[in-house]
Amino acid sequence: MDHLGFLTNFLVGIDEGSLSAGARRTGITQPAISQQMTALEQYYGCKLLQRSKSGARPTNAGKIVCRYALQMQETHNRLLAELDTLGGSTAGRLKISTSQAIAELVLGEVISDLHQTNPDLDVLMQVENRVVDVVRESYDFAIRIGSQGQSDGVVRKIGALDIVLVASPAYLDANGRPNRLDQIEKLNFIEFSIGGADGFIYASKDGVDVQIPVHIGFRADAPNLMQQALLRGIGLARMPRVSVQHLLDQGGLEIVMPGYQMAQRPVYIVHPHRNSLNRRALLFIDALLKKMAATDHMHALRFP
């Protein structure tokens, strides 16, 4: 029995709330993960999961196994990281989680460039607009924009993105161009549904920070949906300037209240523990920072 593998899938099933959802996330079939759970229950001699039509939740014994399984998983990850430091090769798999926004902005070019110089580097990049748990889901690291998230792990800020408040000229022609902050709330605000505005956006002018109330008229969970909503005249939105600069240049969008500077959106690296970044991870992060530093409206910090 692949004991550690079965325990890892046990943790995934608990995290997802059902074995079928856990099977989808791990890429195995539902009968297979169910057989693994049965094997664990036989091994420990007690029931670990309470299953029902609404999902699966751990029994008291399952909660104990869960706690120790997390410790075993983290210890194993540290073991792999320490062994990895003994060699100088960058060959092997690198598992990364990232959002669609950063993937579209820079990561495609970063991976392409790395493949030219490190053909044995196997990058598995999961692009999804959810906050993954880098510890439980065995990621080498995650790249997050705006929010650090609530999952376990070590968080390091690596840079920031310039943000602009934009709308289509047609929308502003029809609804007016605000010249006072209190007029913005009268317009429809397009919110990114993950780490959104919560009714306010933050900006500054002449060194003074301001909090601007907004009326949320549309929510989207992907950057391309927000861009489409902007171009169709649904409202105004905060966007990374690097992602909409071509539309600003072409006149498809314009900056709202250009005298105010929107708060930058930080970029974070989240990894399982302090010593978990191996040579492959450091190589990738270094390439990412160089790409960010060379891109207008993106800013990179020195990574320790």
pLDDT tens for each residue of 123-158 = 998 888 777 888 778 888 999 888 766 666 789 999
User: 188 or 192, which is more confident?
Assistant: 188
The confidence score (pLDDT) of residue 261 equals: 93
Supply the pLDDT for residue 2: 85
**8 A C-beta contact, residue 161 and residue 264:** yes
Please state, for a pLDDT cut of 70, what percent of the chain lies above it. Answer: 92
Q: Where are the domains of the chain?
A: 3-84, 92-159+266-300, 163-263
Architecture of domain 163-263: 3-Layer(aba) Sandwich (3.40)
pLDDT of residue 255: 97
Say yes or no to pLDDT of 1 above 80.
no
Helix, strand, coil percent values for the chain (each to nearest 5): 40, 25, 30
In the prediction, which pLDDT does 266 show? 93
Task: State the pLDDT at residue 194.
Answer: 62
Neighbours of 249 (CB within 10 A): 9
Q: What angle, 0 to 180 degrees and rounded to 10, lies between the N-to-C axes of helices 30-44 and 19-26? A: 110
59-90 per-residue burial string, b: 16 or more CB within 10 A, e: under 16: eeebeebbeebbebbbeebeeebeebeeeeeb
Which CATH number describes the domain made up of 3-84?
1.10.10.10
Q: Is the pLDDT of residue 195 over 90?
A: no
List the end-to-end C-alpha distance of the chain, in Å, as a whole number.
Answer: 40
- Of 21, 275, 5, which is closest to residue 140 (Cα–Cα)? 275
What local confidence, expressed as pLDDT, does residue 265 receive?
92
pLDDT recorded at residue 258: 94
CATH 3.40.190.10 fits 92-159+266-300, yes or no: yes
**Same fold: 3-84 with 92-159+266-300:** no
In the chain, % of residues over pLDDT 90: 40
pLDDT in the model for residue 150: 62
